[in-house]
Structure 1
Amino acid sequence: MLIGLLAGLVSVTIKNITFGIEWLLEKVIVWSQNSIYFILPVIGIWLVYLFMKYVAKKPVEHAIPSILFSLSKKNGLIKPSKIYLPLITAPLTVGFGGSVGLLGPAIASASAISSNIGQLFHIDRKTRTLLIGCAAAGAIASIFKSPIAAIIFAIEVFSLDLTFASLLPLLIASVSSVLTSYFFLGDGVLFNFNVSDKFLLKDTLFYIVLGIGTGIASIYFSKIYFSTYAFFNRFKTNGQKLIVGGLAIGVMLYFIPPLYGEGFGFINDLLDGNHLHALGHTPFDKYLGNIWVIIALLIGITIFKAVAMTTTFAAGGSGGIIIPTMVMGSALGNVVAKIINNVGLNFHVSEANFTLIGMAGLISGVLHAPLTAIFLIAEITGGYELFVPLMITVSMSFIITRNAVEHTIYTKELAEKGALLTHDKDHSVLTLMTLDSVIEKDFIALHPDMSLGDMLHKGVAKSNRNLFPVIDENKHLVGILLLDDIRNIMFDQSLYHSTSVETFMQMPPGFIDYNHDSMKQVMQKFQDLGVWNLPVIKNGIYMGFVSKSKLLTAYRRELINFTT
């Protein structure tokens, strides 16, 4: 309940700070010189850059991926600074018109609060993880006033187990957060929409088409995200990224004004059927009497929203991807409906319904969260009249995207590092394990030029192991010596001074790279090589051994902790 209350307060705070900045710019600066609005996002990103460099003195982190990394590799421990940093950087970015959302930063701040409260009360890792899930659910419930979708988001994205022990705290946190939002913001909702056009069986094929379209668009969204980041990573300094990104954002906003800011107004205008107001003033105003020009501009928004969002991130801005995903989905859904209605084949579908369901299709594909998408739109519309078309479109989008893009924007980098928790318990347990916890260092090291006699007196006689690492003067592993290899000659004193360790040592069948091998890869190496011990190397230096017995014991212990 406490976490839900605080998550609601965080959401209210971040929204009000952002709205305050927008109001100030609108009333005092912008509308006196309307032509300069497209340079404002550059100013906002520049302010974020200065703040992070000279005040926070740390780089901007992406909200959800940083939380997921904390859950998998830091036992759910999040630094206190991450409570307030998103409350500063995200409003500066979005308030000045950056094409990103506030939901991710709100989740990040609320999660940091829950983590630190968990540390304050000395709560164990598993419960702390659940509290972070409660914070995420609370932030979403507060912003969208959709408690059920918020719970499902926490389960789908944070890979929480769906049990009564987890469901009840998530429910309490969501309700507490929604009540907090009602208390401070009243009963107003982001999307004031009621379903007036019912689902008709004859529209089924069109919803399948929309599902295919949103699936393809979701793949595009993910691909453009990573390719844009790859482009900006070519620049050596943050200043260069800011200049190039700022120019790109300014050009996109000049030609496509709806890319400015979060985009809730754009979505509401489409839901109201007012596409002219949604598009705003563009260089193409005199052509807006032609419906196909409007469709072309909406396609432009669909294409360039992902580009504008990623450019804002890559240039140094702070925000989230969920709201931009919804904006892109709403534009695509509206485009599909307009094409169907104007292609000249006497078909007619509800543009408002397609706008809503387009949002669900993009959320499902981009986030790999189909149930979140379905229940979010169902709760936004205040009922389940669109449940069937939602399921059709969302499932199509998810199937197409999941087969083409294995990991989401949130999870790809973490998966490559072996730091991603999933609903696969085996994978998650291995992710939670650390290599340090299974490295054994009580092996007596030998030198290759050590005589057999010295090796027996200084090594074998003082060790309870039958395995000895052989290292050189720089602590590089040059081989291993097994007791079985010298058992038949170890009592032959004539060899004590004439032979050396180098004579009997052998190369290990493999090794574990401390910096690059995940626990899943370590387990796979034991399985593939069929050995009981493998040496661990860090930057070329010998560190110790991992034994299969120690690894399996640690795995079983972690599995018990994870599932009870």
Structure 2
Amino acid sequence: MKYPNHSARMVGLVVASIAIAIICVTLADSLKSITEHAETFIFNQSKKVPLVYIILPSVGITAIYFLRKYVFRGKPNKGIKEIYQCIDSRKNTLPAFKVPSHYLNGFLTVIFGGSTGIEVSTVVATAAVGTMGQRNISLVKHYKTELICAGVTAGIATIFASPIAGFFFAVEVIARKNINRTVLLSSACAALVSWASLARLNSERIVDFTVQSWNAHAIPYFIILSLASSFVAIYFTKTVIYLKKFFGNISNNFLRVNSGALLVGIAILFFPQLYGDSYHAINELLFDSHSQNLNLQLSIFLLALVFLKPLVAALTLGAGGDGGVFAPSIVAGAVLGILTAMLFNYLFDADLIILNFAIIGGVAVLSAAIDAPLTSIFLGCSIVNGGYVIFIPVAIGCFIAKYTAKYFCSYTVYSYKGK
């Protein structure tokens, strides 16, 4: 049997990476679009009868339970950890059902108020597309990690309108110790496809404001925010791990699903900002911050959101919802940033730009939560217009938060192996 030479394999890898990226861009964009529209519609309709918030998460997570049991034959979803298992073992793969399973589960979780986002659902679904390509194209059978990274790059790039963030996420979080030239090549090809697609997709940024400038005198306050962000990330990590373990020990499926979902619903009733991915809350809070002065009531409200968003996200995941740490980290960190800037402006008349602190807080918590500062830096610069204006303080925040969190807690939700 004659094996293809190195040049032929490289050409095959490039072509396969481009093809997978095109599929994954389409997949991620469709999930993002239908989820945003459905989430906004249900959320706005529910405002008319707020008590509906209590039952909505139960509707979504119960639907996921029945889908998993009867359509996907009881096969569990383990999030990004199943990608690691696939990469670390030659025999392991991500079966094709992972694409519709995570697509539907992520959609149902978020539109009915489950307090996570579709990012991790997108990551696993696009990784599964990559393994399907690897299994079915003989020329690239030895490039499983590479094609997984190509799919994931395209997925994250599309969700956040940032090809470079998608590239670094694939390298930092997915490939990890398996980084080599072919992984970089496949991820770069996918990033280029994503970049070419973004003009056509016309994706909106998560934060609907524009960064104008930043001031050097704010650096000490950025550092304080970054340190605080690292502890929010640690709190989130430990809460997710504890509650997943707690709910996993509940043998009664009805009780497990509905107890967690009802707690989520009750939290949303009192804090509608927690509904779904909560990105809408960042814009609302930033808009209100221009007309509000900090007082005790507002301080308690913002602080409650900082701690409730990770908690309610962990309850969502523990009850059986699909999602991960992206949206909760960004939202909790952004609210922490808003609170920090408003507090120092009130106490010291520091003249801090609240928008800048919201962005830095959001990505600093994310950097610490997923141990990926480069991903977080470029993501932070992409989720707001003019984001690269604050590249330096964003980088400071992401690295300080990451290394501080790592000093006090050696694992993340992704790397935790259990005890």
Counterparts in 2 of 1:4-153, with a 5 A limit? 4-22=21-39, 25=42, 30-75=46-91, 77-123=93-139, 126-153=142-169
Matched residue, 2:191: 174
Q: Is the Cα contact below 8 Å between 1:48 and 1:317 reproduced in 2?
A: yes
Q: Is the Cα contact below 8 Å between 1:7 and 1:177 reproduced in 2?
A: no
Structure having greater relative contact order (Cα 8 Å, sep ≥ 6): 2
SS of aligned partner of 1:157: helix
Q: 1:230 to 1:373 in 2, by over 3 A?
A: same
1:348 to 346, 351, 358: 351
Distance across 2 between alignment mates of 1:366 and 1:301: 17
Return structure 1 stretches of 4+ with deviation > 6 angstroms: none
Deviation of 1:75 (Å):
4.6
Distance across 2 between alignment mates of 1:222 and 1:164: 32
Q: 1:254 to 1:384 in 2, by over 3 A?
A: same
Matched residue, 1:248: 263
Q: 1:187 to 1:257 in 2, by over 3 A?
A: closer
Runs (5+) with no aligned partner, structure 2 = 1-17
Query: In the TM superposition, what whole-angstrom CA distance separates every residue of 1:47-97 from its partner, at most 9, and x where no partner exists?
Result: 111111122122441321111111112556210111111111111111111
TM-score for the superposition, normalised by structure 1: 0.67
Distance across 2 between alignment mates of 1:32 and 1:349: 37
Q: Is the Cα contact below 8 Å between 2:106 and 2:121 reproduced in 1?
A: yes
Q: Is the Cα contact below 8 Å between 1:313 and 1:319 reproduced in 2?
A: yes
Q: 1:22 to 1:387 in 2, by over 3 A?
A: closer
Matched residue, 2:216: 201
Matched residue, 2:315: 311
Deviation of 1:106 (Å):
0.9
RMSD of aligned alpha carbons: 2.3
Q: 1:85 to 1:276 in 2, by over 3 A?
A: farther
Deviation of 1:324 (Å):
1.3
**1:265 is aligned with what amino acid?**
H
Matched residue, 1:365: 368
Query: In the TM superposition, what whole-angstrom CA distance separates every residue of 1:457-489 from its partner, at most 9, and x where no partner exists?
Result: xxxxxxxxxxxxxxxxxxxxxxxxxxxxxxxxx
* 2:273 pairs with 1:258: yes
Query: In the TM superposition, what whole-angstrom CA distance separates every residue of 1:177-197 from its partner, at most 9, and x where no partner exists?
Result: 2433442x3253333332213
Deviation of 1:14 (Å):
1.3
Q: Is the Cα contact below 8 Å between 2:325 and 2:369 reproduced in 1?
A: no
SS of aligned partner of 2:359: helix
Deviation of 1:234 (Å):
3.4
1:331 to 335, 358, 365: 335
Deviation of 1:225 (Å):
1.2
Distance across 2 between alignment mates of 1:187 and 1:51: 30
Q: Is the Cα contact below 8 Å between 1:8 and 1:181 reproduced in 2?
A: no
Matched residue, 2:390: 386
TM-score for the superposition, normalised by structure 2: 0.89
Of structures 1 and 2, the larger Rg is shown by 1
**2:369 is aligned with what amino acid?**
V
Distance across 2 between alignment mates of 1:276 and 1:59: 49
Of Structure 1 and Structure 2, which has the larger fraction of its residues in helix? Answer: 2
**1:214 is aligned with what amino acid?**
S
Which has the larger displacement, 241-250 or 124-133? Answer: 124-133
**1:294 is aligned with what amino acid?**
L
1:412 to 412, 416, 419: 416
Q: Is the Cα contact below 8 Å between 1:60 and 1:318 reproduced in 2?
A: no
SS of aligned partner of 2:213: coil
Distance across 1 between alignment mates of 2:339 and 2:408: 24
Query: In the TM superposition, what whole-angstrom CA distance separates every residue of 1:264-307 from its partner, at most 9, and x where no partner exists?
Result: 1112234x432599xxxxxxxxxx88633112111111101111
Matched residue, 1:189: 205
Q: Is the Cα contact below 8 Å between 1:330 and 1:356 reproduced in 2?
A: yes
Query: In the TM superposition, what whole-angstrom CA distance separates every residue of 1:345-394 from its partner, at most 9, and x where no partner exists?
Result: 22221110000000111011100111111121123344532122122222
Matched residue, 1:291: 295
Matched residue, 1:321: 325
Distance across 2 between alignment mates of 1:273 and 1:192: 10
Deviation of 1:164 (Å):
4.4
Deviation of 1:208 (Å):
1.1
Q: 1:2 to 1:211 in 2, by over 3 A?
A: same
Distance across 1 between alignment mates of 2:160 and 2:224: 27
**1:55 is aligned with what amino acid?**
V
Distance across 1 between alignment mates of 2:259 and 2:211: 43
Deviation of 1:109 (Å):
0.9
Deviation of 1:161 (Å):
5.1
Matched residues, percent identical? 26
Deviation of 1:19 (Å):
3.5
Q: Is the Cα contact below 8 Å between 1:103 and 1:143 reproduced in 2?
A: yes
Q: 1:26 to 1:228 in 2, by over 3 A?
A: closer
Q: Is the Cα contact below 8 Å between 1:49 and 1:316 reproduced in 2?
A: yes
Q: 1:204 to 1:52 in 2, by over 3 A?
A: same
Distance across 2 between alignment mates of 1:91 and 1:97: 10
SS of aligned partner of 2:297: helix
Distance across 2 between alignment mates of 1:168 and 1:71: 17
Q: 1:31 to 1:336 in 2, by over 3 A?
A: closer
Query: In the TM superposition, what whole-angstrom CA distance separates every residue of 1:100-142 from its partner, at most 9, and x where no partner exists?
Result: 1101111111111110111101255651211101111111111
Q: 1:324 to 1:383 in 2, by over 3 A?
A: closer
Runs (5+) with no aligned partner, structure 1 = 278-287, 418-564
Q: 1:195 to 1:75 in 2, by over 3 A?
A: farther
Q: 1:212 to 1:31 in 2, by over 3 A?
A: closer
Q: Is the Cα contact below 8 Å between 1:76 and 1:125 reproduced in 2?
A: no
